[in-house]
């Protein structure tokens, strides 16, 4: 469960978001309440409060308590062991890899790892829960009290980024449930237990966020961290990362409001939309004198709104009970490790800590330091799977400075990939080819506009080298000084008016026009710097 | 009988139990064989796997004769509340019992005098007692192996919790259940223990230490022993007969030179209530999986999933099981959890600590009665309900389950009515060797008489030629 928003009466301070500010939230669904007068608008400031419960599927070969395989989209009920099907007499046996994944994740999120944690049974009846209970960690979870830092762009520009932090309340290990498919046509429910028993880490945040953008950015950063650690692939579309949002609003200085839980959010983008919609909905409801019910709502992505889920009035009592078949989970560190045990027999927190890979924030800092690129650039590099690696590969193979290379990566390569919905992995232009092209540019064999033309050709993925394309399309820069001077002269001769203006006032605009004309005459094969020099020289004569 | 075939072909026994007929209580999973727990819920359920203990016995070459009857889901102390009907104590048909207990009236059917086996592993105890097999597996949660062992005149061993794997044993109370061993003599129990004990990776509650099977010495120096007699086990309702027997047994040890002292386990009287809370809570949880969806009985009810669950569970479970589920759910409710479940856990800790203190003060073995009386006639037993009976009958055996300690019931003598009475020894955690050694010595001293079943006697009089009529009493 997410950390409950403090109950009414407990009060809380928050960032005051004036109503006007809220309406500029980047959800695109800004709705203005029917205010009587501008005066009331100023009074009606609301503080939205957002917390998240994130269920992360652990990347492991087998399930949390049984040896059956973990695999996406396998034939129904083909990955179900006796224990998963809850056959009587079967017992849970803890999967070591899942414990390590949880410890890694806890360390990466700056949590304290509990050296002793416990397992509990959470009871409820549902078709996809064969045992009638889920094994989870309710009393003492494996990790607590951490933090997650993430970055946001202010005002929709990449130029200004701000770092925010959300506190992590806890991480607990628990079983995933199976899947129910409701066949209304035949009034039946089909149950697939392939997913039943897969290991999950539930990451619970404190309610430190205030809008959809923050929630989305936090989740995005968590995804990157998990993927870097390898503890989960965290692909939302495959159900490996599922987010429930807890949302409430209150006036600054007043106690926290009633919160609702929003489920059925299938992407990071929808998360931002769902949260912002719910904030707006609650504000409107309260502005109109209504009340907020402590309920669970489902996000409808088609309509872009949240709707109440099946009535959960009279809250469920899960009758928590310790899981008697699993002894307490004991973890060790270098200090507490018994002398005669090796690390194969136990889980050693320090051993895992020493082997943690560089987290995204560290990688970004390194990129900035190593290559002199801007923080926002490193952010984008890490945000696209494989892009940072691509960038570094290009750097290795070219003499062009990183600060220039980054432009080609972010502006040209990335926009092309986005346009065609391709991943870096599927790029028809390899880092080798791009580096090759950039080298031609760097050696001044072609102009930058010519380079762009070559890149266009390369996208076709016909396997031609940049040099070949340059030769085919005759895009080489004119190296012959005399030839260039001739062309410049002919342009000057044709553009009498401009020449007179130049003589009179040394107009930069006119000069640029002339340069442009030369470029056109040479079909991009002239070096603009050189052309400028020649023109200036000629005009001064 | 392929195992036996192999034996003859190769001349090599598969193991120490090769060819030995065994019976297994029907709450252990047996692959390809119906496993019912004497419940409608699992009637016709063919298990796809063997419980670890079953597999181990089969690997030794033991021959499984059949699954034995029990109280439904092991809930009961009479083996009378299963769907296949009650189990009859073989001693009901013994010459010893018939001599001492004339029928109530000539017109009354002889049948109405038969006595219960005790429970819940009554079928297993009866199987061993009536010579149908040498070994039977039972389970012991509150005394379910020792109680019927005492009533049926066989040896009933409850091992230390965590020594033997529970994988495949359909659980009653996961934190107290152990597989129990029923045999005709202590040596046999030691042999079977040797085949079964040890860590099982499929059961995370078994200890990691390697278990070394042992043989029991024939002679021991009793003078080195300190026997404790816990005064609280002089429980209300304990028959004067058994009290006298218990006293005689203590004298036996004293006369042989052992130190025999009175000790106190002050929290004994709270164990029944404590057990009731913890047991019903676990039952409510363990029975949640029986919903008719994946296996077992499914009611013919299509209106909704919930109604299907309700009908399935109403039809599948008897009143005893349903009663415990309701109680258990009550104790697990958020508002009750602290006052009942947590409290019971704390009381459990106190009960266990009683034993720690006593054993820590130099006592090697505790000697107590196993049951309050000899076996009662079925007709009398069913006059009280299951819950009342269980509460009464478990008092002497229950605490050992709370504390996870090993305990064994040894048939000691026949009662005035000609029925077996057993006495119990409770030992230190994982000290089965010492426990069984003392038990074997005691067994030798008391020379419990063999059951004289009329039919058997008719066909093989020579078996009884050398039967000593001297009884311990």
What is the DSSP track for A195-251?
A: TTT-EEEEEEE-S-B-SHHHHHHHHHHHHHHHHHHTS----GGGTSEEEEEEEEEE-
Nearest CB among B202, B294, B302 relative to A91 is that of: B202
Q: Angle B306-B308-B312 (CA atoms, 0-180°, nearest 5)?
A: 120
**Cβ-Cβ contacts under 8 Å, B281 against chain A:** 321
Name residues 163-222 of chain A within 8 A of B (Cβ): 187, 189, 191
| Nearest alpha-carbon partner for A224 in A245, A239, A241, A207 | A241
Positions of B annotated as catalytic residues are: 25, 120, 144
Distance CA A512, CA A520 (A): 12
- Model confidence pLDDT, tens digit, residues A488-498: 888 778 877 76
Q: Residue A3: is its pLDDT beyond 50?
A: no
Q: Residue A312: is its pLDDT beyond 80?
A: no
CA distance B28 to chain A (A): 8
- Model confidence pLDDT, tens digit, residues A239-258: 999 999 999 999 999 999 99
Subunit contact B204:A189, Cβ cutoff 8 A:
no
> How does residue B468 score in pLDDT terms, banded at 50, 70 and 90?
very low
Hey, is A191 helix, strand or coil?
strand
Name residues 384-443 of chain B within 8 A of A (Cβ): none
Subunit contact A88:B37, Cβ cutoff 8 A:
yes
User: Of the given ranges (A113-127, B213-227, B451-465), which has the lowest mean pLDDT?
Assistant: B451-465
Distance CA B134, CA A396 (A): 79
- B114 or A4, which is more confident: B114
Instruction: Tell me the average pLDDT across B245-274.
Output: 96
What's the pLDDT at A463? Answer: 80
Subunit contact B205:A327, Cβ cutoff 8 A:
yes
What element of type H or E holds A505? helix A496-505
Instruction: Tell me the average pLDDT across B435-454.
Output: 94
What element of type H or E holds A513? helix A508-521
What's the pLDDT at A503? Answer: 66
Nearest CB among B173, B204, B289 relative to A88 is that of: B289
Subunit contact B288:A317, Cβ cutoff 8 A:
no
CA within 13 Å, CB half, A399 = 6
CA distance A433 to chain B (A): 54
No. of helices (H) and no. of strands (E), chain B: 17, 10
Subunit contact A89:B51, Cβ cutoff 8 A:
yes
Check CB contact of A316 with chain B, cutoff 8 Å. no
Q: Work out the number of other CB atoms within 10 angstroms of the CB of residue A368.
A: 16
For A256, residues 6+ apart whose C-beta sits below 8 A from its C-beta are A5, A6, A7, A8, A10, A11, A12, A49, A207, A248, A250
The DSSP bridge partners found for residue B137 are B24, B181
Rounding to the nearest 10 degrees, give the CA dihedral for residues B140, B146, B151, B154. Answer: 110
Name residues 36-75 of chain B within 8 A of A (Cβ): 37, 42, 47-49, 51
Interface mutation vs chain B, best among A1, A88, A125, most B CBs within 10 Å = A88
- Model confidence pLDDT, tens digit, residues A332-352: 998 998 888 766 778 999 999
Q: Are B246 and B280 in contact (CB under 8 A)?
A: no
- Model confidence pLDDT, tens digit, residues A27-84: 333 334 444 444 444 346 899 999 999 999 999 999 999 999 999 999 999 999 999 9
Nearest CB among A91, A132, A319 relative to B166 is that of: A91
A-chain residue closest to B51, CA distance: A89
- Model confidence pLDDT, tens digit, residues B378-426: 999 999 888 888 888 899 999 999 999 999 999 999 999 999 999 999 9
Instruction: Tell me the average pLDDT across B456-464.
Output: 49
Distance CA A155, CA B447 (A): 94
What element of type H or E holds B226? strand B226-230
Subunit contact B306:A320, Cβ cutoff 8 A:
no
User: Of the given ranges (A2-11, A114-123, A166-175, A475-484), which has the lowest mean pLDDT?
Assistant: A2-11
Check CB contact of B330 with chain A, cutoff 8 Å. no
Rounding to the nearest 10 degrees, give the CA dihedral for residues B423, B427, B431, B432. Answer: 20
Distance CA B384, CA B226 (A): 39
Tokens of A452: 């762009």
- A159 or B362, which is more confident: B362
Check CB contact of A138 with chain B, cutoff 8 Å. no
What's the pLDDT at A484? Answer: 81
No. of helices (H) and no. of strands (E), chain A: 18, 16
> How does residue A17 score in pLDDT terms, banded at 50, 70 and 90?
very low
Instruction: Tell me the average pLDDT across B68-79.
Output: 96
Check CB contact of A99 with chain B, cutoff 8 Å. no
Tokens of B13: 């026994």
A-chain residue closest to B333, CA distance: A319
- What average pLDDT does the structure give for chain B? 92
What's the pLDDT at A520? Answer: 80
**Cβ-Cβ contacts under 8 Å, B291 against chain A:** 125, 132
Check CB contact of B305 with chain A, cutoff 8 Å. yes
B-chain residue closest to A327, CA distance: B205
Q: Are B239 and B273 in contact (CB under 8 A)?
A: no
CA distance A96 to chain B (A): 13
- Determine the straight-line distance between the first and last CA of chain B, rounded to whole angstroms: 43
Residue positions counted in chain A: 541
**Cβ-Cβ contacts under 8 Å, B287 against chain A:** 132
Instruction: Tell me the average pLDDT across A186-215.
Output: 95
- Model confidence pLDDT, tens digit, residues A412-455: 899 889 988 888 998 888 889 899 889 988 888 888 888 888 88
- Model confidence pLDDT, tens digit, residues B301-343: 888 889 999 999 999 999 999 999 999 999 999 999 999 999 9
Nearest CB among A82, A94, A321 relative to B285 is that of: A321
Give, in order, the Cα–Cα distances in Å from B211 to each of A345, A416, B195, B407, B466.
19, 67, 10, 18, 39
Check CB contact of B313 with chain A, cutoff 8 Å. no
What is the predicted ipTM? 0.92
Subunit contact A326:B49, Cβ cutoff 8 A:
no
Interface mutation vs chain A, best among B41, B332, B402, most A CBs within 10 Å = B332
**pLDDT exceeding 70 applies to what percent of chain B?**
92
Q: Work out the number of other CB atoms within 10 angstroms of the CB of residue A127.
A: 20
Instruction: Tell me the average pLDDT across A2-9.
Output: 40
Task: Specify which of A18-22, A39-43, B16-20 reaches the highest per-range mean pLDDT.
Answer: B16-20
Q: Is B49 left (phi over 0), alpha (psi -120 to 50) or beta?
A: beta
Subunit contact B288:A189, Cβ cutoff 8 A:
no
Count Cβ atoms within 10 A of the Cβ of residue B15 and give its class: 0-12 exposed, 13-18 middle, 19 or more buried. middle
| Nearest alpha-carbon partner for B397 in B409, B385, B415 | B409
Tokens of B434: 């010492």
Check CB contact of A132 with chain B, cutoff 8 Å. yes
What's the pLDDT at A481? Answer: 78
CA distance B277 to chain A (A): 12
- What average pLDDT does the structure give for chain A? 86
Subunit contact B289:A121, Cβ cutoff 8 A:
no
- B181 or B209, which is more confident: B181
Instruction: Tell me the average pLDDT across A514-520.
Output: 81
User: Of the given ranges (A142-156, B48-62, B181-195, B308-322), which has the lowest mean pLDDT?
Assistant: A142-156
Check CB contact of A82 with chain B, cutoff 8 Å. yes
Total beta-carbon pairs less than 8 A apart between chain A and chain B: 96
What's the pLDDT at A36? Answer: 43
Give, in order, the Cα–Cα distances in Å from A176 to each of A13, A81, A268, B127.
36, 14, 21, 44
Instruction: Tell me the average pLDDT across A311-315.
Output: 58
Subunit contact A87:B293, Cβ cutoff 8 A:
no
CA distance A277 to chain B (A): 34
Q: Where are the alpha helices (DSSP H) in B52-159?
A: 52-59, 95-100, 122-129, 146-152
What element of type H or E holds A517? helix A508-521
Nearest CB among A131, A187, A191 relative to B289 is that of: A131
Nearest CB among A85, A86, A92 relative to B204 is that of: A92
**pLDDT exceeding 90 applies to what percent of chain A?**
58
- Model confidence pLDDT, tens digit, residues B269-306: 999 999 999 999 999 999 999 999 999 999 998 888 89
The DSSP bridge partners found for residue B30 are B33
For A307, residues 6+ apart whose C-beta sits below 8 A from its C-beta are A297, A298, A300
Count Cβ atoms within 10 A of the Cβ of residue B156 and give its class: 0-12 exposed, 13-18 middle, 19 or more buried. buried
Q: Where are the alpha helices (DSSP H) in B216-269?
A: 240-255
Check CB contact of A130 with chain B, cutoff 8 Å. yes
| Nearest alpha-carbon partner for A222 in A202, A237, A207, A238 | A202
What's the pLDDT at B110? Answer: 57
Backbone dihedral angles phi then psi of residue A298, each to the nearest 5 degrees: -105, 140
Check CB contact of A67 with chain B, cutoff 8 Å. no
B-chain residue closest to A135, CA distance: B285
């Amino acid at each position: 469960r997410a950390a409950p928003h403090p109950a009414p009466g407990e009060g809380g301070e928050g960032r005051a978001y004036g109503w006007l500010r809220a309406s500029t939230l980047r959800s695109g669904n800004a709705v203005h309440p029917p205010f009587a007068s501008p005066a009331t608008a100023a009074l009606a400031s609301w503080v939205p409060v957002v917390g998240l419960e994130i269920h992360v599927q652990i990347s492991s070969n087998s399930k949390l308590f049984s040896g059956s395989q973990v695999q996406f989209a396998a034939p129904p009920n083909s990955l179900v062991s006796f224990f998963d099907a809850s056959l009587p007499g079967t017992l849970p046996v803890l999967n070591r890899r899942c414990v390590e994944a949880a410890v890694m994740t806890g360390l990466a999120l700056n949590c304290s790892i509990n050296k002793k944690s416990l397992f509990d049974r959470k009871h409820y009846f549902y078709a996809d829960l064969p045992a009638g209970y889920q094994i989870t960690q309710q009393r003492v979870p494996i990790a607590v009290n951490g933090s997650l830092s993430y970055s946001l762009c202010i005002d929709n520009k990449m130029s200004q980024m701000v770092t925010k932090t959300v506190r992590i309340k806890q991480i607990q290990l628990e079983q995933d449930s199976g899947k129910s498919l409701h066949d209304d046509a035949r009034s039946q429910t089909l149950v697939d237990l392939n997913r039943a028993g897969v290991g999950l880490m539930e990451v619970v945040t404190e309610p430190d966020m205030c809008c959809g953008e923050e929630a989305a950015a936090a989740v995005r950063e968590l995804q990157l961290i998990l993927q870097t650690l390898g503890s989960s692939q965290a692909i939302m579309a495959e159900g490996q990362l599922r987010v429930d949002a807890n949302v409430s609003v209150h006036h600054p200085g007043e106690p926290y409001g009633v919160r609702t839980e929003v489920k059925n959010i299938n992407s990071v983008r929808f998360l931002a939309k769902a949260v912002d919609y719910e904030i707006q909905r609650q504000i409107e409801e309260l502005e109109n004198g209504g009340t907020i019910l402590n309920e669970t709502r489902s996000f409808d992505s088609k309509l872009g709104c949240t709707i109440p889920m099946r009535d959960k009035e009279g809250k469920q009592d899960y009758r928590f009970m310790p899981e008697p078949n699993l002894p307490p989970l004991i973890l060790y560190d270098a200090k507490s490790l018994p002398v005669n045990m090796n690390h194969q027999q136990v889980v050693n927190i320090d051993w895992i800590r020493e082997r943690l890979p560089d987290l995204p924030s560290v990688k970004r800092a390194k990129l900035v330091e190593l290559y002199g690129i801007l923080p926002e650039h490193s952010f984008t590099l890490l945000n696209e799977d494989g892009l940072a690696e691509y960038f570094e590969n290009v750097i290795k193979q070219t003499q062009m400075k990183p600060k220039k290379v980054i432009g080609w990566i972010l502006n040209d390569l990335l926009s092309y990939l986005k346009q065609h919905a391709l991943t870096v992995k599927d790029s028809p232009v390899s880092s080798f080819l791009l580096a090759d092209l950039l080298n031609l540019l760097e050696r001044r064999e072609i102009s930058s506009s010519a380079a762009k033309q070559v890149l266009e050709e390369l996208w076709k993925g016909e396997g031609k080298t940049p040099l070949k394309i340059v030769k085919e399309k005759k895009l080489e820069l004119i190296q012959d000084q005399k030839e260039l001077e001739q062309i410049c002269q002919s342009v000057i001769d044709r553009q009498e008016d401009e020449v007179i203006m130049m003589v009179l006032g040394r107009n930069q605009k006119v000069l640029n026009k002339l340069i442009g004309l030369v470029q056109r005459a040479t079909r991009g094969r002239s070096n603009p710097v050189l052309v400028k020099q020649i023109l200036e020289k000629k005009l001064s004569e | 009988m392929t195992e036996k075939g192999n034996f003859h072909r190769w001349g090599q026994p598969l193991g120490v139990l090769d060819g030995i007929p065994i019976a297994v209580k029907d709450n252990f999973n047996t692959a390809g064989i119906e496993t019912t727990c004497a419940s409608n819920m699992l009637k016709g359920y063919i298990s796809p796997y063997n419980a670890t203990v079953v597999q181990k016995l089969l690997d030794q070459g033991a021959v499984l004769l059949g699954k034995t009857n029990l109280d439904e889901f092991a809930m009961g102390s009479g083996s009378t509340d299963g769907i296949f009907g009650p189990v009859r104590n073989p001693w009901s048909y013994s010459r010893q019992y018939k001599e001492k207990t004339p029928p109530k009236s000539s017109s009354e059917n002889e049948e109405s005098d038969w006595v219960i086996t005790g429970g819940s592993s009554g079928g297993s105890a009866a199987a061993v007692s009536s010579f149908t097999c040498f070994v039977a597996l039972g389970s012991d949660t509150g005394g379910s192996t020792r109680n019927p062992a005492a009533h049926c005149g066989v040896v009933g061993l409850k091992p230390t919790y965590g020594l033997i794997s529970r994988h495949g044993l359909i659980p009653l109370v996961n934190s107290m259940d152990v597989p129990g061993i029923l045999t005709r003599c202590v040596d046999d129990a030691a042999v079977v223990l040797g085949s079964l004990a040890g860590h099982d990776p499929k059961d995370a509650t078994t200890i990691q230490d390697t278990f070394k099977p042992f043989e029991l010495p024939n002679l021991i120096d009793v003078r080195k022993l300190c026997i404790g007699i816990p005064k609280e086990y002089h429980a209300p309702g304990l028959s004067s007969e058994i009290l006298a027997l218990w006293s005689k047994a203590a004298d036996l040890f004293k006369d042989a030179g052992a130190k025999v002292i009175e000790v106190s386990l002050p929290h004994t009287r709270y164990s029944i209530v404590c057990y009731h809370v913890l047991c019903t809570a676990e039952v409510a949880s363990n029975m949640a999986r029986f919903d008719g969806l994946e296996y077992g009985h499914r009611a013919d009810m299509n209106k909704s999933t919930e109604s299907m669950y309700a009908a399935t569970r109403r039809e599948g479970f008897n009143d005893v099981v349903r009663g415990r589920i309701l109680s258990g759910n009550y104790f697990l409710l958020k508002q009750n959890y602290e006052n009942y479940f947590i409290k019971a856990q704390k009381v459990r800790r106190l009960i266990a600590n009683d034993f720690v203190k006593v054993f820590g003060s130099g006592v090697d073995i505790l000697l107590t009665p196993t049951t309050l009386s000899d076996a009662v006639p079925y007709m009398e037993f069913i006059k009280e309900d299951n819950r009342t009976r269980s509460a009464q009958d478990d008092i002497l055996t229950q605490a050992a389950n709370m504390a996870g300690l090993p305990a064994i019931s040894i048939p000691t003598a026949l009662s005035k009515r000609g029925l077996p009475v057993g006495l119990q020894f409770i030992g230190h955690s994982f000290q089965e060797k010492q426990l069984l050694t003392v038990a074997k010595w005691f067994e030798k001293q008391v020379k419990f008489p063999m059951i004289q079943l009329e039919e058997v006697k008719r066909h093989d009089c020579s078996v009884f030629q050398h039967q000593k009529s001297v009884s311990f009493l």
